[in-house]
Structure 1
Amino acid sequence: MPTDPLVTVRDLRVGAITDASRKVEIIRGVDFDVAPGEIVALIGESGSGKTTIALSLMGHARPGCFISGGSVRVGDFDVTGLSERARRELRGTEVSYVPQSAAAAFNPAKRIIDQVVEVTKIHRLMPRAEAEERARELFRALALPEADSIGERYPHQVSGGQLQRLAAAMALVGDPQLVIFDEPTTALDVTTQIEVLRAFRSVMEKTGMAGVYVSHDLAVVAQIADRVIVLKNGEIQEVGATEQILTAPEHPYTKELMAAFEPVPHVPVEVPHSSPKPILEVEHLSAGYGGKPGAEPTYRILKDINFKLERGRNLGVIGESGSGKSTLARAVAGILQPYEGAVQLDGEELKPDLHERRKDHLRRLQIVFQLADTALNPAVPVGTILGRPLTFYHGMKGERRERRVIELLDMVQLPGALRHRLPGELSGGQKQRVNLARALAAEPELILCDEITSALDTVVGAAILELLKDLQKDLGLSYLFISHDLSTVEAICDDVLVMLNGEVVEALPAQKMSTEATHPYSKLLISSVPKLDTAWLSGLEQDPELVARFTNR
């Protein structure tokens, strides 16, 4: 017997107000259903309307946007016809949301358990003791360690993968009928992503909840979704079962997305201004957190790191969440002062502390951070964000600075009109490209890239890699490229360092990583890269002892 849909969307239209106070339509006539217990994926490029449509299921629109037409029903509720007060009652009980950035979703000053059960207090769903027991049940179901006590910690005291699963627990504790997952594994390394996907799928299957999964990663979608909706420019291009979309796509745009998922071949870039000196040399670098600056820290993270990066070449750094990848970038940039070792830029030793470095050293070595939500000032327009380094490093003001801001946005494939918007009005991919443009504003020689393509869809991510190569060719740039995506590292990097527990356990040319890696941990990383195969995750067999030895699960 066919069942009635849990979600019914008909002729959904969403409008937005432009900088010139003109109304435009960004979602045009979208129709789809979601059955009880079904997981439907929304895929497409950044800006295609994935998150905008998903948020509309809660009756919510981003700043500057509004639901202008059509209808959305969830269960017995006409979401588009409800008052805002009634919609608030709906959120967390009938429909809930798991954000892309769990770090930005949690209050760092409050215990995790207090935040996870908050929805039960707001909606008066159950007594506090019952809510805490429900939360602990979810912690166990989501395979979180120390489920009975992890809630007593603060957000900064758990790993990224653990925090993302805790965000899911926060969404599930109110027992909703529908859960919206907004790119929840985008920023996670491959081994952590596997545990999160398994946990999500297990909980959804056991509870029978329906899900809408927003993602640009087709390999992830293959593991979790029953059906796929392909979007472009606010319109549906194709709808089909996941297997059909992956193996026999019909629409040209779907075929384009599939083609963009294919690995990009690495072609070494010949750069001008070659020099016998490495652009970056790191010797016996050790760093950590806690204690006095320059002294041995309370928590040691990096342990005796050594490597050289030749000018015009790219070095990839991969490893588990917590392995020390981002800490390495911060120590090289001077944000975190190491207690041992030295960093040289083009043969000149850099001061350990950022505040003691010469202005020219600051300009020549830039960093692009992973989390755009926390890296960009939410109260400042994009044009001001990009204009500040132009004034600081190059003394640009007025019209000259304005023209350069537009040029920088064009370099990262964003329209110049975006300079008037606030970061909160941009998609995740757009915010990350603004991050890159800010680094380019300094006209650097070396860019430390901390997961800069992890928030981008496959089409835009491939375009950004091509952009990085073009910039490298034109400007003689070098990149230290931190990533959990091995295909990305192989596409742009010449060499790879594999990090585990703050140490380099293997160093290989990027093109030999998949075939010649010898360390067991390197092999685990390679085996954890998702495939475009709906049976991949369920059929994945990894040595439990090896997984337990080398990961934080």
Structure 2
Amino acid sequence: MSDVMIEVKGLRVVAGGADGAAVEIVKGVDFTVRKGEVLALIGESGSGKTTIALTLLGYTRQGCAFAGGSVRVAGTDILALDEKARRALRSRTVAYVAQSAAAGFNPARTLMDQVTEPALLHHLMPREAARAKAVELFRALALPSPETIGERYPHQVSGGQLQRLMAAMALITDPAVIVFDEPTTALDVTTQIEVLAAFKRVIKEVGTTAVYVSHDLAVVAQMADRIVVLNGGEVQESGDVDQVLDAPAHAYTRALLAASARREGQSGEMGQARASAADPPLLQIRGLSAGYGRIDRDGNPAVRVLDDVNLSIARGGALGVIGESGSGKTTLARVVAGLVERAGGDVLFEGQPLSSQLSGRTPDQYRRIQLVFQNADTALNPSHTVEEILGRPLAFYKGLRGAAAKRRTAELLDLVKLPASTATRRPGGLSGGQKQRVNFARALAAEPSLILCDEVTSALDTVVGAAILELLRDLRSELGVSYMFISHDISTVRAVCDDVIVLYAGRRVEAGLPRLLDQPPHHPYTGLLVDSVPALKRGWLDARRNVGTCALPPLSAGKGGEELCSFRTRCPARIEGKCNAMPPPLRTLPSGAQILCHRSADELKALQPLRGAA
């Protein structure tokens, strides 16, 4: 077939086991991809998706090796090449867009230097031509200020922008094939739409062949032409998107679809453990303001991120915090954890004031509030084994060492659904989902009362994510542990939480029970978030263009006092003369939710069709 761009036959990859014996992790995989086609590789964490995708670059993870089969890309037998020839192939013939753009960029170099580097390394064009082409790609990928964004550094752009810049880096060499490895996993729902739309448009315009690795079936439905379903390193099913999603032939594919449907249908399942209203809350926050930089004598940070935030978490309760990147979710968790000093307001833990700084907290408070970080790649020490990573908190908080620490490590790994053999492995040899579960096990080692979960399921597939949610339920039921659950996955928040708050630009714009996410009317911003969750049907993304996504307002400096609705520039329900002139009142909707908005409940319900039209 002359139009075949990728041909994989009988591919086998092995990994060294703990006893030195080789373990087969990819078992005779076959598939083809035609020129200009997008093939999705889907399956649970550990199914071999990324391992197979990386073989297209002639690469295996440390500790792994090719054991058989063939991989041909654009007519070249990749496995027959020596290492030098494989390096020459990467970026030029096959490019790679990683899951974590933050970990893929050098913080000390400008974005332009890094985006143009592949073209310059392969001597494809002069520096000025590479810079001009980069600007064209920035424009095609809908990046702001395409002529100047390249002069910034990675920390000066958002996560969604950085992901698109990584795509520009991949596209600058005009590769025949691009491998997208979970490129939108860590993005909020509105940013994900922007990135997916930009990727899809550029792939179509350039005519690039793509392999898209994902565990999100709804995303795959928007991006792919064909699907290969993997489990345990073997192909379970392959076919056109419509056939696989609408009429799956294999029981495993049906199980994946069923797990996705269950997650979408869950709502407040953990609420049965809700504490009595008469019980004092475990955590209470009143009038919180916080930010970064020096705090002046009036208590104002140089850059304000949170302003007048109020919330409470009951003993054994779970509070969901949702909002786009930059809304202040992670800063809120870091304030509670003592990693960011608050500028104003009160934080009470079990009715006692909680010091802004870790140095002012008691050892017991320090142990009982644990934070699970979002990015396991940067949270886990790559030079330590999992046993060493878990051993540190066991020794620090519990004084466990030697055989006792080994026993408890095995128990923790079992809690997060990892085999005991994981203890001897290092993070670099684990999948993204496995690393996140180790990240969670480390927090559990302290036996905390409150776990601040910062996007803890964002890197997990539907099935493994469901197992983690089940673990959260069990811990809550058995131990009475409480959660602040930060997520951009609205279906997960529905399933996990008793109460929900919605943050926008550092302010709480809505608060209520999880059903507020299912029952309009909402605050217009909540409505935008709900409507931006991808649906498991073809064509949804194309119908959701122009959804009103744009950058959040600039973080306020100094005293601020910005009382006007910060969502007004994006809001389809805004009222000229009110929204731009006076602070929004606090209203209570029929659902019981409280919102900051000038519109009444009846007005918001009538305006529901306008959502996304801004």
Which bin holds the TM-score, normalised by the shorter protein? over 0.9
Q: Which amino acid aligns with 1:476?
A: G
Matches within 5 A, 1:259-408: 259-262=258-261, 263=264, 264-271=266-273, 276-292=279-295, 295-408=299-412
Q: What amino acid is the match of 2:25?
A: I
TM-score, normalised relative to structure 2: 0.87
Query: Offset of 1:242 from its aligned partner?
Result: 0.6
1:479 is matched with: 483
Q: CA deviation at 1:339?
A: 1.2
| Structure 2 counterpart of 1:537 | 541
One-letter identity of the residue aligned with 2:359: H
Task: Pick which of 286-295 and 107-116 moved more.
Answer: 286-295
Question: In the superposition, relative to structure 1, how do residues 547 and 354 fare at CA in structure 2: closer, same or farther (>3 Å)?
Answer: closer
> Match of 1:289, as an amino acid?
Y
- In the other structure, the counterpart of 1:17 is 16
| Alignment correspondent of 1:36 | 35
Code of the residue aligned with 1:445 in structure 2: it is S
Determine the structure 2 residue equivalent to 1:191: 190
Listed as ranges, the matches of 1:505-516 within 5 Å are: 505-516=509-520
Q: Secondary structure at the match of 2:269?
A: coil
| CA drift at 1:454 | 0.7
| Alignment-derived partner of residue 105 in structure 2 | 106
| Distance in 2 (alpha carbons) for counterparts of 1:7 and 1:282 | 55
Distance 1:538 1:154, change over 3 A: same
Aligned to 1:6, what secondary structure does the other structure show?
Answer: strand
Q: Contact 1:273–1:476 at 8 Å: present in 2 too?
A: no
CA drift at 1:311: 1.1
What is the letter of the counterpart of residue 199 of structure 2? F
State the SS of the aligned residue for 1:192: helix
Whether the 8 Å CA contact 1:271–1:474 is kept in 2: the answer is no
Question: Given the superposition, is the C-alpha separation of residues 484 and 164 from structure 1 closer, same or farther in structure 2, using an over 3 Å criterion?
Answer: same
CA distance in 1, matches of 2:549, 2:39: 34
1:148-167 pair list within 5 angstroms: 148-167=147-166
Give CA deviations for 1:319-377 in whole Å, capped at 9, x if unaligned. 11111111111111111111111211111111101232211111111110110101111
CA change 1:125–1:97 in 2 (3 A) is: same
Partner of 1:422: 426
What do the CA deviations read for 1:127-149 (whole angstroms, capped 9, x no partner)? Answer: 11000111111100100001111
Structure 2 distance, partners of 1:420, 1:522, is: 44
Contact 1:143/1:199, CA 8 A, preserved across alignment:
yes
| Offset from partner CA, 1:210-232 (integer Å, 9 cap, x none) | 00000000000000000000000
Distance apart, 1:48 and its partner CA = 0.2
Counterpart pick for 2:467 among 463, 466, 490: 463
Tell me, yes or no, if the aligned pair for 2:12 and 2:69 is still in contact at 8 Å.
Answer: yes
Q: Aligned Cα RMSD in Å?
A: 1.7
- Taking the aligned partners of 2:127 and 2:477, their CA distance within structure 1 comes to 60
Letter aligned with residue 97 of structure 1? Y
- Structure 1 window deviating more from structure 2 (318-327 vs 516-525): it is 516-525
Q: 1:387 to 1:530 in 2, by over 3 A?
A: same
Query: Counterparts of 2:547 and 2:137 in 1: how far apart (Å)?
Result: 26
Q: Is the CA contact (8 Å cut-off) linking 2:135 and 2:147 kept in structure 1?
A: yes
SS of equivalent residue, structure 1 residue 515: coil
Paired AA for residue 365 in structure 1: I
Larger Rg over CA atoms: 2
Gaps of 5+ in 2: 553-568, 572-613
Q: What secondary structure is seen at the aligned counterpart in 2 of 1:131?
A: helix
Q: Residue 190 of structure 2 contacts residue 549 of structure 2 at CA under 8 Å; is this kept in 1? A: no
- Does the 8 Å CA contact 1:390/1:441 hold for their aligned counterparts? yes
SS of the residue corresponding to residue 443 of structure 1 reads coil
Instruction: Report the 3-state secondary structure (helix = DSSP H, G, I; strand = E; otherwise coil) of the residue aligned with 1:374.
Output: helix
Distance 1:73 1:135 in 2: 29
Report deviation, 1:541: 5.5
Secondary structure of the residue aligned to 1:291 is: strand
What are the Cα deviations for residues 280-303 of structure 1, in whole angstroms up to 9, with x where unaligned? 101111111122599522211111
* Contact 1:269 1:473 survives alignment (8 Å): no
Q: What is the alpha-carbon distance in structure 2 between the residues aligned to residue 444 and residue 521 of structure 1? A: 33
What code does the residue aligned with 1:55 have? L
Q: Would the aligned equivalents of 2:280 and 2:351 in 1 still touch at CA under 8 Å?
A: yes
- Are the aligned partners of 2:274 and 2:317 in contact in 1 as well (CA < 8 Å)? no
Deviations 1:501-542 (A, max 9, x none): 000001121023221342111111011000000111112265
**For residues 362 and 425 of structure 1, what CA distance do their matches in structure 2 show?**
31
Amino acid at match of 2:454: D
Residue in structure 1 matched with residue 169 of structure 2 by the alignment: 170
Does 2:518 correspond to 1:519?
A: no
3-state DSSP of counterpart to 1:360: helix
SS of 1:223 mapped into structure 2 = helix
Residue 266 of structure 1 aligns with an amino acid whose one-letter code is G
Mapping for residues 161-240 of structure 1, pairs under 5 Å: 161-240=160-239
Change (3 A) 1:188 1:544: closer
Give the C-alpha shift of residue 77 in structure 1.
1.3
Decide whether aligned partners of structure 1 residues 3 and 547 sit closer, same or farther in structure 2, where only a CA change above 3 A counts: farther
Q: How far apart are the structure 2 equivalents of 1:544 and 1:397?
A: 54
The answer (yes or no) to whether the contact 1:270–1:312 under 8 Å persists in 2 is: no
Letter in 2 for 1:433: R
Q: Note the alpha carbon deviations across 1:21-45, whole angstroms, 9 max, x for none.
A: 1111110110100111000000000
Q: Secondary structure at the match of 1:53?
A: helix
Pick closer, same or farther for the CA change 1:542–1:96 going to 2, 3 Å: closer
Q: Describe the SS at the equivalent of 2:518.
A: helix
**Cα shift at 1:267:** 2.3
Question: Which amino acid counterpart does residue 152 of structure 2 have in structure 1?
Answer: R
Structure 1 residue 46 and structure 2 residue 45: aligned? yes
C-alpha distance in structure 2 between counterparts of 1:543 and 1:139, whole Å: 20
On the 8 A contact 2:373/2:439 being kept in 1, the answer is yes
Give 1:311's aligned amino acid: R
Which residue pairs with 1:94 in the alignment? 93
Distance 1:30 1:414 in 2: 25
Normalising by structure 1, report the TM-score: 0.97
> Take 2:271 and 2:510, find their aligned partners in 1: how far apart are those partners?
24
Residue identity (%): 56
Matches of 2:121 and 2:269 in 1, distance apart? 55
Determine helix, strand or coil for the equivalent of 1:290: strand
Tell me if the contact between 2:271 and 2:498 (Cα under 8 Å) persists in the aligned partners. no
Q: 1:508 touches 1:517 (CA, 8 Å); kept in 2?
A: no
Q: Distance in 1 between matches of 2:187 and 2:550?
A: 20
CA contact (8 A) 2:270 2:473 kept: no
CA 473–285 in structure 1, closer or farther in 2 if over 3 Å, else same: same
* Structure 2: distance between partners of 1:57 and 1:39: 14
Q: Corresponding residue for 2:561?
A: none
Q: Please, which moves more after superposition, 286-295 or 230-239?
A: 286-295
Paired letter, 2:9: R
Deviations 1:476-512 (A, max 9, x none): 0111001111100000111111110000001121023
Q: Which amino acid aligns with 2:464?
A: V
Deviations 1:34-75 (A, max 9, x none): 111000000000000000000000010001001111100110
**CA separation of 1:306 and 1:59: change in aligned 2, threshold 3 A:** same
Alpha-carbon distance in structure 2 between the residues aligned to 1:88 and 1:329: 42
Aligned to 2:578: none
Measure, in 2, the Cα distance between the counterparts of 1:152 and 1:163.
13
